[in-house]
Amino acid sequence: MGKSSKDKRDAYYRLAKEQGWRARSAFKLLQLDEEFNLFEGVTRVVDLCAAPGSWSQVLSRILIKGESFGRSAWEDRFARDRMAAFGLPSPPEEPAETPQLKPRKDVKIVSIDLQPMSPLEGITTLKADITHPSTIPLLLKALDEDYDPSSPSAAQPVDLVISDGAPDVTGLHDLDIYVQSQLLWAALNLALCVLKPGGKFVAKIFRANEVDLLYAQLRVMFARVHVSKPRSSRASSIEAFVVCEGFQPPPGFKASLENPLGPKSVPAKLEPQAPLRTVREDGVTVLDLGDEEDGRWIAPFLACGDLSAFDSDATYQLPKDRVTLDPVQPPTAPPYRRALEMRKAAGGAYGKTKGV
Amino acid sequence: MSSFLQIISSRTPVTALCLLDDLVVSADGPFLRIYHYETGQLLFWTNAFDDQTIHGIAHVAKLASGHVHLLIWGRSMLRLVILVPISKANTVPGPQDGLKIFLGQSTKAPGWILALAVNAGSGQSSGMNCDCTAHAAFLTAQNVLYTACPTDRAALLVHEVAAGPRCILYSANLIWDSSFSLLVAAGTAFGDIIVWSTAASPGSTACVHYILTGHEGSIFGLQISERLPLDMEGQKIARFLASCSDDRTIRIWLLREDPGLRAPGYEEGASGQYLEQTGFLSKNEKRKIDDLSSSLCVASAMGHASRIWGVRYINAASWLKTQSMKLLSIGEDATSQVWELDEKENGFALHHRASFAHHFGKNIWSVAVDSAANPRIVTGGADGAITARRLQTDQVEAPLSTLLATWSMESMLESADLFCQQTLNSFGKPAHFAAVSAPKNCKADFFRSYIFIQETALLMTTNEGLVLLFQEDETGFRRWSHIATLSDIAGYSVAAGVPQKPLAFLAGAEGAVYVFDMKGRTMMPVFRVGGKVAGLFVELVKTTEDVDTYGLVATLMGNSPPQHIILAHHRLSEDILVVRRVVLPLEPSVMVTSMTHGPTGRDQWSVFLGLRNGDALMFSHGGSEGVTQPYTIPRVHRGETITGLRWLSGKDSQDVLGWLVSVGRDGACAVNQIPQSGSNVLLVHKLTLSLGSNLEGLYISPKNELFVYGFHGTRFIFHNASLHRSIMTVESGGVHRVWTFKPNVTTDGGITGGRFAWTKASQFMIYTSQEANHRVIQPGGHGREIKACAIAPVVLSGSKLGPLIATGAEDTDIRLSSYDGTTFRCVSILRKHVTGIQSLKWSSDGRFLFSSGGFEEFFVWRLRSVPSVEVGVVRESACPMSNEKSDLRITSFAVEDISESKGKQDGDAMFLITMVYSNSTIRTFTYISSNSKGTWTLRATHRYTSACLTQCSYLSVDAGTSILLTAATDGHISLWSMSGITELKASPDVTEIEWLGTIRVHQSSVKAMSVVRLNRDNHLILSGGDDNALGLTHCVLHKTGSPGMSVLLIPRAHAAAITATALWLGVSSQMKFGLYAVSGSNDQRVRVWGISMDLERSDEHGVVLRKLGNGYTAVADVSSMALFPSCDSGPRRVEVLLSAPLSESVIFGPWLLA
């Protein structure tokens, strides 16, 4: 797909270029923030699997520069007007004037990835493996100059740990789901080591087979667990985000990467909720069938990004004279780059004999 | 699994394979299947895991009792499987005998199992305290090694042995170094390979020998070879390690035997620290690792177009003898490729040897290779197919498919004892042959034309006028013999034959047509046409006890029209007589390219000619009547050459005289139906095949299967169009050359291959294939994600197949399949869309299929029963686009038959079609199908917000007001009305659809929707959302005013997005209704719900919902669901078809409904 047709097919790809984001995924974090107020009172953040760095960029612009992003950054005005015409509730208009910059004090942001990442002002980047125990002292050191290696926990814990990491999907569903859950466990284990009580954890999750087991385990560590899908995340993708708030490790729990938590290592003891029928304000009857048995739990879903936000699945008409922008950051070199070059040099098919 | 749900049939990607003597053991989803290799017969299948896919099968042991022990695993589950053959007494065990399977207890391992190796020695010798016959070791994705030993009760005891450096692995391979130690190769996501070893007893320590760097992407496949001697003396012993990666390379590493060797950074023994990637390794150590790695990587090659998933040694043992061995790789590009590793003076090298593409779409996930002399290669793809072929590695057996021989002009003449002879008149030829001198200079001669007479015989003419016969006897001895030297074929000749009889016809520049009869090896002139013969077409028209009747069409150069000649061959006397000869009234400029005979009667003849301009003509003549003016069927293959024609008689049909089957250089196969009377020839079938445009001919087997052949790129391809698979491919070097082909027909009428002869660079070559180039053990389906499915509500008129299942996929194909209660069979593949299919729907009478995709593609397909192709399919029309460059997706549509004469088989039809688009627009058309042509009239349009619309359905369609229902990515459901839209007006205005109301049901996208009409005014709408919720919207239509909508929302109905739903009415009384619903989700669960509705209760308790069933499905991302039409009698059985990414379909049922 060319840049121009991608602009039409993917509103957020276009908006990211227009608003200077490294990747369209920046909007996912912004929309999660709009719904969950993630950054309220937050100054110390760890961004895991950060490359190419669009989430770090959001942190940098909001926490360090003090910018604020509202709905207007991704609102489709046409949709808003149409919704009003259909009598659908639409959110109040945001004030048009540019808000003042409100930089926060004592901001500390550490971004970790194995892939190289272009530096961002005010952010410490680490090239390290988040699954590895040796990463913890590296991270603690980066968070706190006076870190004492003899103490395994952070002197000044962090408020928020975020992770947008995903594997290169193979197409073998079970494997992709497994690798993604491993990334989530790795991120969670690291978060458990550095998060302060009451802290938040946001991570990409694949809503697929056995995801209810994952939810149940997260529920043991956090007071509130939601699964959320921002409007900027395509409906056709199985990705969603777990938003875990109110970190509350069980009594006696000791986090460590030497002995990480894994599936079913924490008994998920939850009081199952009984079926409940309620009538909502808008007249919709909601029938909650109650919790699952056998250690499964389905986290409540919360869509985020207002309905007047651009729809990542819709096709938009663009003005004829529109200039198609280049991406802010060119895509990183794929592992098969050399293969493509060699193939081109050999005239198409590596110069190999054709199949029989 | 819930008793409400039972999987009856399923086709999902084949994720594991194992070859066991004459058995193929395969896995798709949780199902373990056992096939007999030779016959392809399914002997047994079972559900081996409750709710997960099988990822590996390993052969453990074959006991003296004949019992076979296997270990299967998937994710972290492990299970022993025992096959027990039930052979009848005194017979050799074979596929006719049954098999029983015992499943051991499922055992959970502490992590995802990546690789497993069975210890060939006994478990006793390794010092482990268990009394099992054999035991296995496995490695998890966390790089931890375990052993598994079966206990008495076929459970498995798992012990942790040792942990390698900790990191997440993508692939691994392990081998028992001895019966008490193991060697492990582990591939990381970051392109490194860690080679380590350990003793097999619990609590051992890993020794890290190598960290191999060099691959530029994740390692997806590894295999360690047995120990091999690298020199003749057997002094240098080493193992090869083969690896493949995201970077598209296959690399071969040489691992020296040196137990003391440690990777830099690991000298002090493994501390379990894998330091390199965390940046702790010193620069010096890193350089040492890189240097060592590049010295150990002895060969590297690229071959696949995308990621490579696996690599296997085919015949590592041959290294000993030949210093070479073959390897096999499988990849994302759905090919398997053969490589040869050898060592010459200049070192090791990896050469590409062959590439096999026998799977559809993307991804071969599983492979099994045996170590026989000519090893069998079995592959399993994401298309659900299992294909197999033998690889020729030695020359002991004569290969079944091979280039038989190559001759130069000299070697051919030498073989015929003609070389350098001065005169040829000593052959005792009949008097009318002039004795001709042998060519003065044989080297100047060249191959002119040739034709197969039999499978083992071919008639050849040379430019100098020599006629030679090629023969191969039973022992494989091949020779040429001289038949004749004819002056009038010197410089120019054409040849023709019939597949059924050992006869060949030759004609040259002077108009004489000769016949060669293989029986007496005689060559005779039969008639003379007055001019140079441009084309000669011949067909066996009929055969009686002692006379074969042939029909020939000879076209002439210059200004003479073609002639149609009927010949009678009296088999007893061997006389060939001209029965009839007529000149066909045709303009000289018309180029005839193919021919077939139509209906013939007593002294009545008809013949069809296929032309270069794509038209087909029909002539008839008989008795004393002259030839009629031709009847033209225009543009059968657009403007492209018709290369093959066959007539299928309508036999005793009242209406249909017969069908004209054709192929042409537009790459399509077409069928025209010729009526008994009247002149309305009807195009009943036209589909493009996947072979490119150079189709050169067709063949209909005695079993009525359709075969086509032609060229694709530089290859000649013989293809079974009924089964959609290639039989034979020959690298011929291109299409513009002299060639001839004859299919192999077995005694039972099957086609197993063929012979292809061609000229390339002045060499004459014959390729023979005695069996198909691959066998299909399990037929597959789409090669990419299925996006939509629909089941025809009724059986197609005249068809013996059940209701057809239409599936549309990301590969842009639509497949029509039949389902016989156990398996799916693909009947046709409809290729016309250029984007992935979004939605499919049938007309209520099953005559029309509608499909939508991206770029505003909307097609109407017309279906009819047609012999040989089974289901005739024509793309009747495409909906006009709103603008030419549109890239809008038509995500859903609603169709209602509003024909006046609803249900008449060949009558006109009229449909009201409403489509919804990705830019939030709605458009309604009337579509009229008349005389196989479609007319579209835009009736109404509207625009919702800017949210992508995802669902569309009619609540009611009638002459007054029609009600439309839509849903979108914003989670809202809307109702619309259209007035007077079903009336037919001469020039109707385009009106705006009226909005009736919108209600929010879901938080985000509505991904599935089903509607049931309860009574005239009440409808129940079931919706599945991206928000994991199910919505039940009760909709009441009022005569005036806006409709009432009330919602019951069930949040957390599934753990993931709900992507497919079905809803149907079970029982009903006046105001009370019992309904059933099924929902499918990305959480791989299918749930059944019972719903009761009481219309008299207006409060929130009016609708009650209960969970009835909950089952696992291997269909990973269900995209669509369809209900089979219900049976009229017997126990109520509802079958539901699921279709989903990377899998064909699963059927659930039966459900007993109260």
pLDDT tens string B787-804: 999 999 988 888 888 889
| Residues of A in Cβ contact (< 8 Å) with B714 | 354
Residue B1082 has pLDDT above 80, yes or no: yes
Q: What is the number of alpha carbons within 13 Å of residue A247 lying toward its C-beta?
A: 21
Residue B1069 falls inside a structural domain: no
Which pair of tokens denotes residue A322?
Answer: 């529109």
Q: What pLDDT does residue B1136 have?
A: 55
Lowest-pLDDT range of A25-39, A324-338, B51-65: A324-338
Q: Are residues B63 and B195 in the same domain?
A: no
Q: Are residues B119 and B77 in the same domain?
A: no
A1 touches chain B (CB under 8 A): no
Window B:358-387, CB contacts with A under 8 Å:
362-363, 365, 382
> Binding site for S-adenosyl-L-methionine: residue ranges of A?
53, 55, 113, 129, 164
Q: Which of A177, A183, A249, A197 is nearest to A218 (CA)?
A: A249
Average pLDDT rounded to a whole number, residues B381-396: 81
Contact B1028 A301 (CB under 8 A): yes
A135 touches chain B (CB under 8 A): yes
A82 touches chain B (CB under 8 A): yes
Chain mean pLDDT for chain B: 86
Alpha carbon distance B842, B828 (integer Å) = 16
Compute the nearest-CA separation of A120 from chain B (Å).
21
B374 pLDDT band (50/70/90 cuts)?
A: confident
Q: Are residues B157 and B57 in the same domain?
A: no
Contact B168 A179 (CB under 8 A): yes
Q: What pLDDT does residue B807 have?
A: 93
Alpha carbon distance B1037, B964 (integer Å) = 12
Domain of B211? 111-302
Contact B1053 A283 (CB under 8 A): no
Among A1, A113, A173, A280, pick the best mutation site for testing chain B contact (most B Cβ within 10 A). A173
Average pLDDT rounded to a whole number, residues A93-115: 80
Q: What pLDDT does residue B1022 have?
A: 97
A31 pLDDT band (50/70/90 cuts)?
A: very high
| Residues of A in Cβ contact (< 8 Å) with B947 | 79, 307, 311, 314
Residue B171 falls inside a structural domain: yes
B714 touches chain A (CB under 8 A): yes
Q: What pLDDT does residue A7 have?
A: 79
| Residues of A in Cβ contact (< 8 Å) with B172 | none
Which pair of tokens denotes residue B370?
Answer: 């045996």
CA angle B240, A335, B143 (to 5 degrees): 50
Residue B206 falls inside a structural domain: yes
Indicate the residue type of A39: F
Q: Are residues B91 and B227 in the same domain?
A: no
Residue in A83, A186, A287 nearest the CB of B1050: A287
Strand (E) or helix (H) holding B322 = helix B319-322
A2 touches chain B (CB under 8 A): no
Q: Nearest residue of B to residue A305 by CA position?
A: B1004
Q: Which of B813, B722, B782, B1078 is nearest to B11 (CA)?
A: B782
Q: What pLDDT does residue B253 have?
A: 95
Q: Are residues B151 and B292 in the same domain?
A: yes
B538 pLDDT band (50/70/90 cuts)?
A: very high
Contact A174 B75 (CB under 8 A): yes
Alpha carbon distance B262, B267 (integer Å) = 5
B533 pLDDT band (50/70/90 cuts)?
A: very high
Q: What pLDDT does residue B442 have?
A: 61
Average pLDDT rounded to a whole number, residues B563-584: 91
Q: How many CB pairs under 8 A join A and B?
A: 261
Q: Which of A244, A250, A268 is nearest to A184 (CA)?
A: A244
Q: Which of B100, B16, B18 is nearest to B59 (CA)?
A: B18
Average pLDDT rounded to a whole number, residues B1035-1063: 91
Contact B279 A128 (CB under 8 A): yes
Q: Are residues B137 and B98 in the same domain?
A: no
B429 touches chain A (CB under 8 A): no
Residue in B52, B273, B887 nearest the CB of A8: B887
A264 touches chain B (CB under 8 A): no
Alpha carbon distance A219, B1118 (integer Å) = 28
| Residues of B in Cβ contact (< 8 Å) with A79 | 945-947
For residues B282 and B1135, the model is more confident at: B282
Q: Are residues B65 and B193 in the same domain?
A: no
| Residues of A in Cβ contact (< 8 Å) with B218 | 168, 335
Answer yes or no: A354 catalytic: no
Residue A314 has pLDDT above 80, yes or no: yes
Most confidently modeled of A266-275, B878-887, B964-973, B1100-1109? B964-973
Domain boundaries, chain A: 3-345
- Do B473 and B763 meet the contact criterion of CB atoms below 8 Å apart? no
Q: Are residues B50 and B121 in the same domain?
A: no
Q: pLDDT tens digits, residue range A201-260?
A: 999 999 998 899 889 889 989 999 999 999 999 888 899 999 999 999 888 787 777 677
B762 pLDDT band (50/70/90 cuts)?
A: confident
B959 touches chain A (CB under 8 A): no
Give the strands of the sheet with B324-331, arranged side by side: B308-313, B324-331, B336-344, B347-356
Share of chain B above pLDDT 90, in %: 51
B88 pLDDT band (50/70/90 cuts)?
A: low
Residue B153 has pLDDT above 90, yes or no: no
Among B945, B996, B1050, B1104, pick the best mutation site for testing chain A contact (most A Cβ within 10 A). B945
For residues B58 and B908, the model is more confident at: B58
Residue B679 has pLDDT above 70, yes or no: no
Q: Nearest residue of B to residue A128 by CA position?
A: B278
Residue B61 has pLDDT above 70, yes or no: yes
Give the end of a domain, one of B73, B108, B143.
Answer: B108
Q: Are residues B59 and B166 in the same domain?
A: no
Residue B971 has pLDDT above 60, yes or no: yes
Residue in B75, B337, B945 nearest the CB of A83: B945
Q: Are residues B17 and B122 in the same domain?
A: no
| Residues of B in Cβ contact (< 8 Å) with A354 | 355, 713-715, 731
B189 touches chain A (CB under 8 A): yes
Give the end of a domain, one of B302, B328, B356.
Answer: B302
CATH assignment, A3-345: 3.40.50.150
Contact A307 B356 (CB under 8 A): no
Lowest-pLDDT range of B224-228, B412-416, B680-684: B412-416
Q: What pLDDT does residue A265 have?
A: 58
| Residues of A in Cβ contact (< 8 Å) with B1049 | 284-287
Q: Are residues B288 and B183 in the same domain?
A: yes
The ipTM (two decimal places) reads 0.91
B1007 touches chain A (CB under 8 A): yes
Torsion of CA B352, B356, B357, B362, to 10 degrees: -60
Q: Are residues B52 and B168 in the same domain?
A: no
Residue B270 has pLDDT above 50, yes or no: no
B1137 pLDDT band (50/70/90 cuts)?
A: low
B191 touches chain A (CB under 8 A): yes
> In sequence order, what are the residues at sequence separation of 6 or more whose Cβ sits closer than 8 angstroms to the Cβ of residue B593?
B535, B610, B611, B612, B641, B642, B643
Q: What pLDDT does residue B1133 have?
A: 46
Q: What pLDDT does residue B1066 have?
A: 82
Q: What pLDDT does residue B499 have?
A: 86
B341 pLDDT band (50/70/90 cuts)?
A: very high
**Catalytic-labelled residue, pool A204, A264, A352, A354:** A204
Residue B94 falls inside a structural domain: yes
pTM above 0.80, yes or no: yes
Q: pLDDT tens digits, residue range B777-788?
A: 999 989 888 999
Q: Which of B660, B665, B659 is nearest to B642 (CA)?
A: B665
Residue A199 has pLDDT above 70, yes or no: yes
Q: What pLDDT does residue A30 have?
A: 93
Which pair of tokens denotes residue B473?
Answer: 């006897």
Contact B247 A336 (CB under 8 A): yes
Q: Nearest residue of A to residue B338 by CA position?
A: A355
Distance set, CA B382 to CA B12, B357, B368, B404, B783 (Å): 7, 13, 15, 35, 6
Lowest-pLDDT range of A47-61, A324-338, B173-187, B492-506: A324-338
Q: Which of B1080, B1150, B1089 is nearest to B1120 (CA)?
A: B1080
Residue in A76, A83, A303 nearest the CB of B1003: A303
Q: What pLDDT does residue B1003 have?
A: 93
A352 pLDDT band (50/70/90 cuts)?
A: very low
Residue B101 has pLDDT above 60, yes or no: yes
Q: Which of B14, B11, B12, B9 is nearest to B25 (CA)?
A: B14
A285 touches chain B (CB under 8 A): yes
Among A129, A310, A337, pick the best mutation site for testing chain B contact (most B Cβ within 10 A). A129
Give the end of a domain, one of B71, B89, B108.
Answer: B108
Number of domains in chain B: 2
Residue in B112, B305, B1100 nearest the CB of A285: B1100
Average pLDDT rounded to a whole number, residues B552-574: 91
Average pLDDT rounded to a whole number, residues B243-269: 81
Q: Which residues in B87-135 belong to E strands, given as ranges?
A: 98-103, 107-108, 113-118
Residue B652 has pLDDT above 80, yes or no: no
Alpha helices in chain A (DSSP H): 3-9, 11-18, 26-36, 54-59, 77-85, 135-143, 173-194, 211-221, 337-345
For residues B652 and B139, the model is more confident at: B139
B90 pLDDT band (50/70/90 cuts)?
A: very low
| Residues of A in Cβ contact (< 8 Å) with B919 | 314-317
Q: pLDDT tens digits, residue range A105-163?
A: 889 999 998 777 888 888 999 888 787 777 888 888 888 877 776 666 666 789 999 99
Alpha carbon distance A56, A124 (integer Å) = 10
Residue B742 has pLDDT above 90, yes or no: yes
Q: What pLDDT does residue B900 have?
A: 78
B286 touches chain A (CB under 8 A): no
